Amino acid sequence: MNNWRIALAQKIAPIYANMPDIAAVALLGGVARGLGDQYSDLDLACFWHRSPIEDERRAAMQQFEPILNTPVFIRGFEAHMAFPDPEHGLFWEEAAYIGGDDRTGFKIDVNHRTVAAMQCILEDVTVGLDTDGHKLETLYSIRRVMVLHGAPVIEQWQTQAAIYPDALAEKLLMMHLPAMGANLDMHLFRGELLEFYRMLTEATFHLVAALLALNHIYRPDLKRLTSLADEMLIKPSNLAPRIYALMRNDPTQAMPDFYQLATEVFALVEQHLPHLDLTAARAKFLSRRQPFEDAPIESIRRGVGGLSDIRTWMILG
């Protein structure tokens, strides 16, 4: 499934590798990790000694057509601020489509970042304990790339990205454990299934993120949960099948199943990090909006004072 995609990447990579200010080129994503399927695009990353210029990026992509001997549809050439840092937060990307246009062709994504930006991200996370999602995903990805050019540069980054500070794990756990709490009961009672599953999905994301932190794995996107769960040594049994079942089962079953899974995650954190005080995180997780059939105050239940007295109380405090 992946062989022709890898061969395609190897044909394209020299275009960028031969540019004078390119330090490294790598294949990213599921194809690089041997997880590609029929829907997988090709994702290339180029690392520059300086900020790239649009004209040279365009000229490089225009070489695809003669090298691949097929028409190529090109679009994009955009710049994005991945995180708020005008010097290091920028990355650039464009796309080429072979065998068709942007609706029917096979997509090749090429993104660009400076070497200095990559080094900044590494230091922000491994030294500064930065929890920015883009930076965490970048470190996860760089450890699992297929190197196409500049192996010494990327291998140095991989060595740095192999560091996962205990303090970062604890910081992320204290972010994600309390965020597993959700008012699922309320939305289920009201029959608001769209909001129920939205909140369930969000809470499950935090559950997986907490487990990744416990396992000292930088958080990627969650496209391939089964493979990601296989990377975890510490996890509840049958993690991926149980998470998938949450989305397939009747909501009246999904809710207690999720709370059971979350309870097991808390227990694993307590087992492996017994020094970590989870009191506040557990209290936040267990917090629910309380239902009230009857008025909670006796005077309101009795209707004492009447409407005029209530208005007076609201005005005078």
110 and 42 Cβ atoms separated by less than 8 Å: no
Q: What is the mean pLDDT of residues 274-297?
A: 88
* Residue 308 scores a pLDDT above 60: no
Sheet holding 22-27, edge to edge: 72-81, 90-98, 106-114, 42-48, 22-27, 146-149
Token reading at 82: 């991945």
Contact residues for 186 (Cβ-Cβ < 8 A; gap 6+): 288, 289, 291
Q: Measured at the alpha carbon of residue 168, what is the angle toward residues 167 and 174, in degrees to the nearest 5?
A: 90
Instruction: Identify whether the C-beta of residue 111 lies closer than 8 Å to the C-beta of residue 44.
Output: yes
Average pLDDT over residues 59-65: 96
Whether the pLDDT of residue 242 is over 50: the answer is yes
- Roughly what angle, to the nearest 10 degrees, separates helices 193-214 and 239-248? 170
In this predicted model, which residue has the larger pLDDT, 226 or 183?
226
Checking if the pLDDT of 101 tops 70, the result is yes
Helix (H, G, I), strand (E, B) or coil at 223: coil
- Single pTM value for the model: 0.89
The rounded mean pLDDT for the chain is 92
> Is the separation of the CB atoms in 206 and 180 below 8 Å?
yes
The secondary structure of 293-314, three-state, reads CCCCCHHHHHCCCHHHHHHHHH
How far is it, in rounded angstroms, from Cα 62 to Cα 71?
10
Mean pLDDT of 89-113: 95
pLDDT > 70 in the chain, percent: 93
Q: What is the DSSP string of 6-55?
A: HHHHHHHHHHHHTSTTEEEEEE-HHHHTT---TT--EEEEEEESS---HH
**pLDDT tens by residue, 291-307:** 888 777 776 666 654 44
Residues 210/225, Cβ–Cβ less than 8 Å:
no
Is the pLDDT at 76 greater than 50, yes or no?
yes
Closest CA relative to residue 269, chosen from 219, 225, 212 = 212
| Interval 22-42 mean pLDDT | 94
Q: Which of 83-92, 214-223, 304-313 has the lowest mean pLDDT?
A: 304-313
Of the listed ranges 177-191, 193-207, 234-248, the one predicted with least confidence: 177-191
CA 40/CA 28 separation, integer angstroms: 11
Where residue 314 falls among pLDDT bands split at 50, 70, 90?
A: very low
Say how far apart CA 22 and CA 20 lie, in whole Å.
6
